[in-house]
């Protein structure tokens, strides 16, 4: 049997080391962000006098390339989990593999692309709700005035801590923002000094409107253009021509998500239904499939990462913390020597190059792996923490 160990080489390669059948993978839970989609914002046209490049698909829909890329991930996971004897050849029953997606087109289509490549000709059912799904809906549940006041206070503190002037300068130049309809209509044309308005309403997603929201919306569009394979002179109209420029613009996206999701009480409140769903799979409250695929959004992953208290991390060969197609992968391992169960958590994702160049994945050419660590579950040199410690921690989260 093999256990995958991870070393942070520059190329983020994976070395598979023979451990003489000591470790056995028993269960896997995959929390995934949908793959490549078209830009979401409905207001891009008023943010610049320039003409945006056209997309074939509707706003917010998975693109054909996104389906291809997610298929590559599905094929890799199938090969990897068969290598670890979690899956066998043939079509899995639902007590072996279970797929659950949010109701959005991009999440359902991503799950379909994953399973169709992982299990060709198997007609795997993708489960999803017929209405807004509370498991994936990233809204505030706490309706008290005290909670709202706390959230606004913390969001203001996060906003104040951000250093984005260089990013705003670059964004303004790229957009020619002073000649945009938004500037002409609102007469607020200085991205560095215009006010960011905080929006906190129960049963809605926390949000912002102002320069940082504009920045996040525009950066999202640029990132999707790059992944889709638009020519470099078309991506951001040619302004993002090297890694230094990308490094200057990406803090706008990270800062936006940090403000709306990285207050721990907010994240715990939003992510609680999802955390409970995962906890039920881990704690034996129900008979859990060997492999569960949960296809959601970056909001689900951001809030779960903060709500569960993951340590800070970075992704090699990626500018995003939660790129399209990225997956938080909870793994339960059994150690035949100590006769104990262990937890390992990896972020498995495609690099910017793998996404842009549509690089096929395989065991010999895998996606990127990054070890994730929980503050409340200390890992050993192999990246394992004791499963019973993880179970005790989960119980505190769902009380």
Task: Write the DSSP string, 137-152.
Answer: --------HHHHHHHH
Per-residue pLDDT tens, the chain, 399 aa: give them: 444 333 333 333 343 444 468 999 999 999 999 999 999 999 999 999 999 999 999 999 999 999 999 999 999 999 999 999 999 999 999 999 999 999 999 999 999 999 999 999 999 999 999 999 999 999 999 999 999 999 999 999 999 999 999 999 999 999 999 999 999 998 889 999 999 999 999 999 999 999 999 999 999 999 999 999 999 999 999 999 999 999 999 999 999 999 999 888 899 999 999 999 999 999 987 789 999 999 999 999 999 999 999 999 999 999 999 999 999 999 999 999 999 999 999 999 999 999 999 999 999 999 999 999 999 999 999 999 999 999 999 999 998
* Pair of tokens at residue 78: 């199938």
Please check whether residue 111 is in contact with residue 295, taking contact to mean a CB–CB distance below 8 angstroms.
yes
Q: Quote the pLDDT of residue 20.
A: 65
Is residue 34 among the annotated active site residues? yes
Q: SS3 for 294?
A: strand
d(C-alpha 40, C-alpha 61), whole Å? 9
Q: Quote the pLDDT of residue 284.
A: 83
Which one of 34, 257, 297, 319 is the catalytic residue?
Answer: 34
Which one of 133, 220, 269, 298 is the catalytic residue?
Answer: 298
Is residue 298 among the annotated active site residues? yes
Q: Quote the pLDDT of residue 12.
A: 38
Q: Quote the pLDDT of residue 2.
A: 40
d(C-alpha 159, C-alpha 316), whole Å? 26
Q: Quote the pLDDT of residue 21.
A: 83
230-285 per-position pLDDT tens digit = 999 999 999 999 999 999 999 999 999 999 998 888 999 999 999 999 999 999 87
d(C-alpha 106, C-alpha 121), whole Å? 21
DSSP summary character for residue 91: P
CA dihedral 213, 46, 297, 14 (to 10 degrees): -90
Domain at 1-399, CATH from 3.10.129.10, 2.60.40.1220, 3.40.50.1240, 3.60.9.10: 3.40.50.1240
pTM score, two decimals? Answer: 0.93
Q: Quote the pLDDT of residue 262.
A: 86
CA distances from 224 to 127, 229, 234, 297, 320 (A): 27, 9, 12, 15, 12
Q: Quote the pLDDT of residue 263.
A: 84
Q: Which residues contact 233 (CB under 8 A, 6 or more apart)?
A: none
Q: Strands (DSSP E) along 318-365, which ranges? A: 327-335, 340-349
């Amino acid at each position: 049997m093999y256990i995958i160990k991870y070393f942070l080489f520059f190329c983020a390669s994976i070395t598979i080391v023979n451990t003489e059948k000591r470790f056995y993978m028993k269960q896997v839970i995959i929390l995934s962000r949908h793959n490549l989609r078209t830009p979401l914002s409905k207001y891009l046209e008023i943010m610049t006098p320039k003409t945006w490049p056209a997309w074939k698909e509707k706003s917010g829909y998975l693109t054909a390339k996104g389906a291809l890329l997610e298929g590559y991930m599905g094929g890799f996971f199938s090969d990897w989990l068969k290598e670890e004897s979690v899956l066998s050849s043939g079509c899995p029953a639902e007590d072996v593999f279970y797929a659950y997606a949010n109701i959005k087109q991009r999440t359902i289509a991503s799950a379909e692309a994953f399973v169709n490549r992982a299990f060709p000709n198997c007609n795997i059912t993708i489960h999803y709700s017929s209405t807004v799904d509370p498991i994936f809906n990233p809204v505030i549940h706490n309706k008290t005035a005290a909670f709202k006041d706390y959230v606004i206070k913390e969001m203001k503190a996060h906003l104040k801590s951000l250093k984005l002037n260089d990013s705003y300068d670059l964004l303004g130049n790229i957009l020619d923002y002073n000649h945009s309809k938004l500037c002409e209509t609102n007469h607020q044309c200085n991205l560095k000094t215009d006010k960011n308005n905080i929006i906190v309403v129960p049963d809605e997603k926390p949000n912002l409107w102002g320069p940082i929201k504009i920045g996040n919306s525009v950066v999202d569009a640029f990132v999707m253009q790059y992944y889709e394979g638009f020519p470099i002179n078309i991506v951001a109209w040619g302004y993002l021509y090297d890694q230094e420029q990308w490094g200057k613009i990406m803090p706008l996206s990270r800062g936006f998500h940090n403000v709306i999701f990285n207050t721990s009480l907010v994240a715990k409140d939003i992510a609680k239904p999802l955390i409970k769903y995962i906890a039920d799979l881990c704690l034996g409250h129900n008979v859990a499939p060997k492999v569960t695929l949960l296809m959601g959004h970056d909001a689900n992953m951001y809030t779960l990462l903060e709500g569960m208290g993951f340590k800070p991390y970075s992704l090699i060969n990626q500018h995003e913390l939660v790129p399209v197609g990225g997956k938080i992968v909870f793994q339960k391992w059994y150690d035949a020597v100590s006769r104990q169960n262990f937890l390992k958590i990896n972020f498995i994702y495609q690099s910017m190059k793998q996404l842009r160049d549509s690089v096929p994945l395989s065991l010999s050419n895998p996606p990127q792996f990054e070890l994730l660590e929980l503050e409340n579950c200390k890992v050993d040199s192999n990246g394992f923490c004791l499963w019973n410690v993880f179970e005790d921690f989960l119980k505190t989260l769902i009380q």
